[in-house]
Structure 1
Amino acid sequence: MHTPSPAGPLTGLTVVEMAGIGPCPLAGMLLADHGADVLVIERPGGRVLDTGTGLDRGKRRTCLDLKTTDGLAEARALVEGADALIEGFRPGVMERLGLGPEVFQASHPRLVYGRLTGWGQTGPLAQAAGHDINYVAVTGVLSAATRAGVAPSIPATLIGDMGGGAMFLAFGLMAALWEAQRSGRGQVVDAAMVDGVGLLSSLLHSLRAAGRWSDKPEQNFFLHSSPFYDCFECADGSFVSIGALEPQFYAELLQRLGLDDVDPAAQHDRSQWPALRERVASRLREKTRDEWSAQLEGSNVCFAPVLTLAEAPLHPHALARGSFTQTESGHWQPAAAPRFSRSR
């Protein structure tokens, strides 16, 4: 095993980030976490939404008034001295500011220009307002987060903003930078959340094409109808998650819950799901979440307690891996990911 070096794998990469909220700052932090020098250009008046310092880790900041000749000139100079720029405004905003990609075509042809939006730079919705829930909805993915008779529900900001947006912007930026090393030419990266979320759903489309995905929750074990793949309430009102998909894991679940009269070979007999689901739910309500964790965690049942954001950093697995770090003020925040064997 190599000893990590003091420098991250992106050391030497310089990025200008136009200050914004949510996904673009996360993409910038991903780059900074791994050694990139990320400079955030803030405009006078502060941030649109105060999200604390959780997305500022490892970055430098400067405040420039882009409505002034000097401020705009300084911003252009900073971009011309960087390998890449990332921004998350609606299409046309950077052009109106005088910082669109065409400004740098002659002076900085190697510049990679990363643009992150919900709907993308083109298309009939390009100028429409929207948020994470809208982008996930139009891709069809929101419909895969429901149960019979209940409205779809998803975790806030994770799928559209961060998964389909920030992660694909960071990947697209690195892909374009790699290509620029060979061609000597930069390009615009159009990272649309609707495109990213759509690609994230590739497995669902594959299952559907193979006849293994039903849009009807009562016929789909992923959609909260089965006795072996869902979250269940415990005696203390907390929840645990069960994901015993494979036959051997399902058999162990039945054994550990004392349901010895249930035939594990009938796992996918949907006619038996409602009654068996109630039996599993009833059994799990007999003990608290922590009691079930002591009994099932680490087994082949595919079990995990449903933790709050406050509890997650203190879980033994998270502590052992250093999955969270503490700020000087004592607040927990997720640590850099992924890990590298040699680089920091």
Structure 2
Amino acid sequence: MLSSSLLLLSILLGVNDSLGGSDFRICAFNLYHFGDSKSKKNDVMLILARIITRCDVCLLQEVRDSKGKAVPELLQQLKRYDPKHGYGHVASERLGRSDSYREQYVFVYRTDTVTVTGQYQYPDDLPGDEDAFAREPFVVRFKAAKTSIKEFVLIPQHTTPTNTTKELDALYDVLQRVKKMWRTENVMLLGDFNADCGYLAKKNRIKVRLITDSNLFWLIPEDSDTTVRSSTSCSYDRIVVNGPTFNRAVVPSSAKPFNFQTEYGLTEEQALDVSDHYPVEVLLRVVRSRALRSSSSFTKCFSLLALSCLVCHLFIW
């Protein structure tokens, strides 16, 4: 009797698992000096693969791949770890004011759920902007048919800690330019904004239009800790959506940091080898096809039947 009950329980769990996996996840991850040296650490690359393959679209920051080998190796690692999905990427030019320190924005995405429909490197010589950004946003438009929003634009930004207030405010101008250029309201801004602790003083928040505009929704809770070090607790990494339509397309309360240290049972030292930041993520609502909804209804009914049988078995036993 007990073995039969356990069999029913495993069936029930399998049914529940089959109902999952339909989320659409957007992530932003500061990889902390990701380049040739880090790409040669097998344990680090495996953890990165585990983290990134959770996401349909993942923005990577602090990519310092001067030799052009680290990103291709990461993509190969993703494909080895998760062969059921295809992975593609788009990358900015190497950005920065110093020749000795330049970074790239890299978007990695699942090719079976996402299509890139446009990209735009924000210029650094617009009249009047006084070179506002050390690393100008690399803006990408995506099509994702399974989501309720269908198509959206992502604006990444890794701010300079000493210039956070100015760069965050200048992002508002980028947003307006992109909305007009692509005639869309479905825009998300995300990345390591350095938007907390000593880098963004409370008295300066009223100077940031990205914060004061009531049409913009900051999704990561203010009390979130997006840093790995136990000695810090700051909500640096953020996700912001433009407009109520996009906000309604977000699964409520799904925006949060992903604590990979706890999730994968790592020591702080091991986690810091990966990054000093946790990735932040958000889920978008998905629209299921009629066939999938019918299948879902069937599996839910089967799940309830299996649960009833399990209760009866345990009671009789």
TM-score, length basis structure 1: 0.28
TM-score, length basis structure 2: 0.29
Give the structure with the larger strand fraction.
2
- Structure number with bigger Rg: 1
